[in-house]
């Protein structure tokens, strides 16, 4: 007989708030008048995220435990990752709402459904037929991201993966300008994402065959005992890892990253780069630290090689890029390698350093993309390096902020990037992966070349081009200032956040 | 130990000055005066701090310790011995001189460019004080790397025509060296006692590491310092950087920053890895002697005077390293004194070369000739500085070069003899240079428009020449300051001075 599972609603209150907000957003989209849409949706979304964050800190933190028939775990790492996703998506959402003089969020098309260059599109632009589907889509994606690291069951993890991915596929295709590139990015992301989901599902099925359950604790118990299906464990693990490594953009599953990052609307790229990475690494931490910890000898070397390959490939390919969004895309591949270096360490310090790095990376990535969206040439975004030449003199604050973020990407001391790198490398060295740290260090030196080349272009290049910097609204300014301050703060006084990460690194099993 | 945190104050004053300059409105016309004022205040504070220092003790003084990032074992720990104090004094004396020298280097139109230039100078001063005062390996590393940023901008934004490439080259070399050191820094923590103050230099001194680990850690640090120093064969960034930099920047770069390399060898390599240091000594000695000869030979062949000075520095750094690794009290005292002397001498050479270049508009030596009669004061001071560089008795460098050679001879006679030929070569490159500039027919067309040293320029060279004479005739106070620190270092290494050659023969015979 079916028995309803006990659900600790207080523990999952943040999730409920976010999903509820997303659904209300969908409803409002049908009822609101055009001119009300943007502001209503914006404030609804921000309010939802803030409310969820408040609920997380005030309610969920006191209700940790495994709930919903063992499929959801709310523990330290979950809350840390969820809190991070919420904070990052607040500033991500603010950056998305930048309106540059129009009635529409500027980065997004008026009519996502129309064919680029078609009559419908022109008509939508003429009528100002603003649709604001980005807000509910973002909220639903955030909900999926929050569920992802909380999932204690492979099937739920798969569902969370899909919930977070599908809105992102759509969001990638909504760029206002260069519509074809954007739609191509969307399609590419969708197709490859569907592949990787299939791999993930296949892996989940194999582990089900191996352990007789999809729950991580059951799988963990099964490892080391004879189940009669022992041959399924390793292929199952590797296929699961494939699905997750795809989401974080690690080599060799990184090929979608540059094209999608370039094609997607710039603020979406920032949101996607930061939050997806946080969520997927959160899920990876749970999968490997809780479910597959006992089989570490089988997966640790594989992940170490993936980490090394990501750092090397990401770093080397970064230096040949000439488009800023692609530079950041390839650098995100290298960063995925750095984060994996922390994850491979497989200790409490591994989990805490990974989470710290995710915080550092997220808070530098969103403002970086938000700033890219402000630099324009002939109405569209100017993302080629040469178009940024000499901006240091014309837009000193933008150049200073972006340069500072680049210093953080490069891992120069007194920025969060350095603290994060130090944390993951220290974790790796302490756990006999010193060679990974060495590769990481060399990769850092390689990527530093391109970051400083960009800074050179800002400050030392000539100024003869038609690039203009638009004045951002308070929304983007807030997002950028927050990101820069966090980047600086985590570089100079990282102790409180390190403490938080360390205290939150205890998984419930 | 005093109640006043002198070192923190010394560090904070220029840093806050730099911050204030950045925050000031764009049209702030008195940026130079403000920066000079800040640097003079720093100088006074440094002198007051130096008066608290009791000469004759080899232990660290003015010690401060504050917990910074306990999770990483990092302490904000400052403290100085005689060597560090002399380096800090050198820095705070040279910075105001450089600010006066660079008075007209940037357009005095009250633009942000000028503000930026002096702000970077002050920030660099703060970093230099920090790097010499840090007694926590991690903190040292932070300053060591963060220092690159102001230098990068000083060269790249305000230098000569090929400045961007020179700045990038400088940065990549230094960053690579620094990152290699980072791995060693992390490794050092893991072999050390660990804990919340596991990076304190005092906790890492006298460890029994031994074997391959110690050698690898030593190499990690040594490579970084050799690049910084700059030592053959990793010196190639220096001539390029020094040529493209403004003379004032070049002074700080070569005169002070490069000393971090030799300072680090003394303070970190020798003190923490005594066995590995002795193991590496033969190779280092050979490289040092090579640097002396190679730098001098290349200096003779230079046609560009900034490059010439850069190569003389490579030769002089060879002497410093030779003295450090000969590991006798006399040779190391000579080296540390040489570090001070070289700072003043190179400063004078670069700044006077800068005066000539400002008048003639060319760095090429062949463009000059007969200037003895056009600008007798400038050419005269050039001669005095040149004689100091070639170590004429009575001028500062003689004492230190003599001590290095005598000290080295006690242990490695062959190295001392070969190294001493560098002194002869020095006479060649300096006197040839001076001859090409000063002698010959008076260049009429230039002479009419060129004026001799201005009052401002007199303020620049006067303190330097006073330093030459003082240190040349009466080096005792400085030697008294340095010798105890050197003795302590040698105790850490566990090396005693060789007995005088004659009695050694007698006793062994």
Contacts of residue B190 in chain A, CB cutoff 8 Å? 429-430
| pLDDT average, residue stretch B428-454 | 83
Q: Which long-range contacts (CB under 8 A, 24 or more apart) does B141-145 make?
A: B141/A413, B141/B178, B141/B181, B141/B182, B141/B185, B142/A413, B142/A414, B142/A418, B143/A413, B144/B178, B144/B181, B144/B224, B144/B260, B144/B264, B145/A412, B145/A413, B145/A418, B145/B175, B145/B178
Q: Tell if the CB–CB gap between A422 and B152 is shorter than 8 Å.
A: no
Whether the per-residue pLDDT at A298 is higher than 90: the answer is no
Q: Which of A445, A451, A494 is the mutation pick for testing B, counting most B CBs within 10 A?
A: A445
pLDDT attached to residue A123: 80
Pull the structure tokens for residue B209: 């590491």
Judge whether B473 is closer than 8 Å to chain A, CB to CB.
no
Percent of chain A with pLDDT over 90: 51
* Angle B267-B271-B274 from CA coordinates, rounded to 5°: 140
pLDDT attached to residue B246: 85
Q: Tell if the CB–CB gap between B68 and A495 is shorter than 8 Å.
A: yes
- A324-333, B186-195, B271-280: which has the minimum mean pLDDT? B186-195
Distance CA B249, CA B61 (A): 30
pLDDT attached to residue B443: 78
* Mean pLDDT for all residues in chain B: 86
| pLDDT average, residue stretch B226-234 | 87
Contacts of residue B189 in chain A, CB cutoff 8 Å? 426
- State pLDDT tens for residues A17-69: 999 999 999 999 888 887 788 888 999 999 999 999 999 999 888 888 888 88
Distance CA B235, CA B296 (A): 13
pLDDT attached to residue B116: 82
Query: Nearest-CA distance from B152 to chain A in Å?
Result: 9
Pull the structure tokens for residue B256: 């002070």
Contacts of residue A453 in chain B, CB cutoff 8 Å? 168
Residue the block writes with tokens 């290095």: B404
Query: Nearest-CA distance from B141 to chain A in Å?
Result: 8
**DSSP character at residue B251:** I
Residues 6+ apart with CB under 8 A from A428: A341, A342, A344, A345, A434, A436, A437, A440
Whether the per-residue pLDDT at B455 is higher than 60: the answer is yes
Q: Which of residues 248-277 of A touch B (CB under 8 A)?
A: none
Query: Nearest-CA distance from B79 to chain A in Å?
Result: 20
- How many beta-carbon pairs under 8 angstroms link A with B? 80
Whether the per-residue pLDDT at B52 is higher than 90: the answer is no
pLDDT attached to residue A125: 76
- State pLDDT tens for residues B383-420: 999 999 888 888 888 889 999 999 999 889 999 999 88
Whether the per-residue pLDDT at A175 is higher than 50: the answer is yes
Whether the per-residue pLDDT at A84 is higher than 70: the answer is yes
Q: Tell if the CB–CB gap between A448 and B70 is shorter than 8 Å.
A: no
- State pLDDT tens for residues B87-135: 999 999 999 999 888 887 665 444 557 788 888 999 999 999 999 999 9
* Residue A499 burial (C-beta neighbours within 10 Å; 0-12, 13-18, 19+): middle
Taking phi over 0 as left and psi of -120 to 50 as alpha, with beta for the rest, B461 belongs to alpha
- State pLDDT tens for residues A223-264: 888 778 888 899 999 999 999 999 998 988 888 999 999 999
Residue A473: pLDDT band by 50, 70, 90 thresholds? confident
Whether the per-residue pLDDT at B313 is higher than 80: the answer is yes
Residue B27: pLDDT band by 50, 70, 90 thresholds? low
Q: Tell if the CB–CB gap between A438 and B183 is shorter than 8 Å.
A: yes
Residue the block writes with tokens 């990475």: A277
**DSSP, residue by residue, A459-473:** HHS---S--EEPPP-
Q: Chain A: residue nearest B174 by CA?
A: A445
Whether the per-residue pLDDT at B79 is higher than 70: the answer is yes
- State pLDDT tens for residues B143-174: 999 898 899 888 888 877 788 888 888 888 88
Percent of chain A with pLDDT over 70: 98
Whether the per-residue pLDDT at A359 is higher than 90: the answer is yes
Judge whether A422 is closer than 8 Å to chain B, CB to CB.
yes
Pairing, β A468-469 against β A380-381: unpaired
Q: Tell if the CB–CB gap between A437 and B183 is shorter than 8 Å.
A: yes
pLDDT attached to residue B105: 67
pTM (predicted TM-score) = 0.90
């Amino acid at each position: 007989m079916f028995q309803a599972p006990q659900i600790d609603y207080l523990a999952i209150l943040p999730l409920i708030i976010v999903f509820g907000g997303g659904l209300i957003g969908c409803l409002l989209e049908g009822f609101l008048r055009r001119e009300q849409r943007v502001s209503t949706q914006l404030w609804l979304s921000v309010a939802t995220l803030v409310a969820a964050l408040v609920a997380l800190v005030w309610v969920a933190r006191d209700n940790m435990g495994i709930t919903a028939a063992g499929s959801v775990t709310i523990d330290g790492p979950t809350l840390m990752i969820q809190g991070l996703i919420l904070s990052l998506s607040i500033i991500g959402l603010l950056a998305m709402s930048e309106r540059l003089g129009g009635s529409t969020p500027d980065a997004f098309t008026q009519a996502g459904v129309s064919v680029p260059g078609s009559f419908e599109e022109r008509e939508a632009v003429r009528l100002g037929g603003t649709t604001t589907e980005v807000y509910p889509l973002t909220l639903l994606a955030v909900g999926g991201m929050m569920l992802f690291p909380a999932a204690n069951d492979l099937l739920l993890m798969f569902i969370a993966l899909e919930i977070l991915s599908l809105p992102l596929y759509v969001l990638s295709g909504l760029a206002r300008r260069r519509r074809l590139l954007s739609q191509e990015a969307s399609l590419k992301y969708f197709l490859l994402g569907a592949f990787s989901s299939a791999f993930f599902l296949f892996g989940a099925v194999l582990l089900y065959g191996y352990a007789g359950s999809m729950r991580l604790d059951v799988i963990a118990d099964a490892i080391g005992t004879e189940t009669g299906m022992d041959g399924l464990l390793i292929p199952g693990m590797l296929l699961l890892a494939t699905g997750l490594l795809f989401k974080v953009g690690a080599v060799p599953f990184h090929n979608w990253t540059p094209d999608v990052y370039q094609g997607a609307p710039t603020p979406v790229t920032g949101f996607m780069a930061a939050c997806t990475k946080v969520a997927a690494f959160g899920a990876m931490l749970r999968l490997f630290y809780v479910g597959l910890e006992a089989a570490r000898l089988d997966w640790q070397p594989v992940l170490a090689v993936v980490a090394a390959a990501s750092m090397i490939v990401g770093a080397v390919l970064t230096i040949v890029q000439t488009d800023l969004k692609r530079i950041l895309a390839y650098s995100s591949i290298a960063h995925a390698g750095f984060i994996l270096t922390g994850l491979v360490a497989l200790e409490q310090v591994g989990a805490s350093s990974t989470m710290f790095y995710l915080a550092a990376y997220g808070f530098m990535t969103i403002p970086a993309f938000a700033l890219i969206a402000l630099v324009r040439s002939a109405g569209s975004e100017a993302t080629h390096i040469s178009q940024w030449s000499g901006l240091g003199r014309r837009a000193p604050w933008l150049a200073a902020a972006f340069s500072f973020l680049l210093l953080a990407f490069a891992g120069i001391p007194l920025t969060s990037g350095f603290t994060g790198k130090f944390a993951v490398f220290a974790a790796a060295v302490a756990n006999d992966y010193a060679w990974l740290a060495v590769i990481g260090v060399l990769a850092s030196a390689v990527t530093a070349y391109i970051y400083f080349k960009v800074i050179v272009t800002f400050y030392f290049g000539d100024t003869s081009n038609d690039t203009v910097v638009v004045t951002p609204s308070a929304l983007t300014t807030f997002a950028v200032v927050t990101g820069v301050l966090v980047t600086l703060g985590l570089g100079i006084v990282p102790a409180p956040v390190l403490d938080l990460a360390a205290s939150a690194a205890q998984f419930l099993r | 130990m005093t109640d006043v945190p002198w070192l923190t104050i010394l560090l904070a004053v220029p840093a806050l000055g730099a911050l204030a300059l950045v925050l000031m409105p764009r049209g702030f016309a008195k940026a130079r005066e403000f920066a000079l004022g800040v640097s003079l205040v720093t100088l006074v504070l440094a002198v007051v701090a130096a008066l608290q220092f009791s000469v004759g003790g080899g232990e660290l003084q003015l010690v401060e310790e504050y917990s910074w990032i306990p999770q990483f074992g990092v302490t904000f720990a400052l403290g100085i011995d005689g060597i560090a104090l002399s380096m800090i004094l050198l820095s705070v004396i040279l910075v105001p001189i450089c600010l006066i020298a660079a008075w007209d280097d940037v357009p005095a139109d009250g633009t942000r460019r000028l503000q930026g230039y002096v702000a970077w100078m002050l920030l660099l001063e703060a970093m230099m004080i920090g790097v010499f005062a840090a007694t926590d390996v991690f903190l040292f590393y932070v300053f060591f790397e963060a220092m690159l940023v102001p230098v990068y901008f000083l060269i790249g934004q305000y230098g000569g025509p090929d400045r961007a490439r020179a700045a990038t080259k400088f940065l990549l070399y230094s960053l690579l060296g620094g990152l290699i050191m980072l791995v060693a820094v992390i490794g050092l923590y893991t072999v050390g006692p660990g804990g919340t103050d596991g990076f304190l230099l005092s906790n890492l001194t006298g460890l029994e590491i031994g074997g391959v680990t110690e050698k690898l850690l030593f190499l990690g640090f040594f490579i970084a310092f050799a690049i910084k120093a700059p030592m053959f064969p990793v010196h190639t960034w220096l001539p390029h950087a020094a040529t493209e930099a403004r003379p004032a920047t070049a002074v700080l770069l070569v005169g002070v920053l490069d000393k971090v390399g030799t300072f680090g060898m003394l303070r970190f390599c020798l003190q923490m890895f005594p066995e590995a240091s002795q193991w590496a000594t033969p190779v280092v000695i050979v490289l040092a002697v090579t640097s002396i000869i190679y730098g001098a030979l290349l200096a003779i062949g230079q046609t560009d005077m900034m490059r010439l000075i850069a190569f003389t520095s490579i030769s002089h750094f060879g002497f410093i390293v030779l003295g450090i690794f000969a590991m006798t009290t006399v040779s190391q005292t000579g080296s540390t004194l040489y570090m001070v002397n070289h700072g003043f001498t190179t400063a004078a050479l670069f700044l006077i070369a800068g005066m000539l270049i400002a008048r003639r508009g060319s760095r090429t030596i062949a463009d000059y000739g007969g200037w003895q009669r056009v600008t007798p004061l400038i050419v005269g001071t050039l001669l005095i500085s040149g004689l100091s560089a070639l170590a004429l008795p009575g001028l500062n460098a003689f004492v230190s070069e003599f001590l290095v050679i005598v000290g080295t001879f006690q242990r490695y006679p062959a190295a001392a003899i070969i190294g001493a030929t560098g002194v002869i070569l020095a006479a060649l490159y300096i006197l040839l240079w001076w001859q090409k500039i000063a002698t010959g027919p008076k260049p009429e067309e230039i002479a009419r428009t060129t004026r001799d040293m201005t009052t401002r320029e007199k303020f620049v060279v006067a303190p330097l020449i006073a330093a030459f004479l003082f240190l040349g005739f009466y080096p005792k106070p400085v030697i008294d300051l340095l010798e105890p620190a050197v003795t302590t270092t040698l105790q850490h290494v566990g090396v005693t001075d060789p007995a005088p050659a004659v009695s050694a023969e007698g006793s062994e015979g």
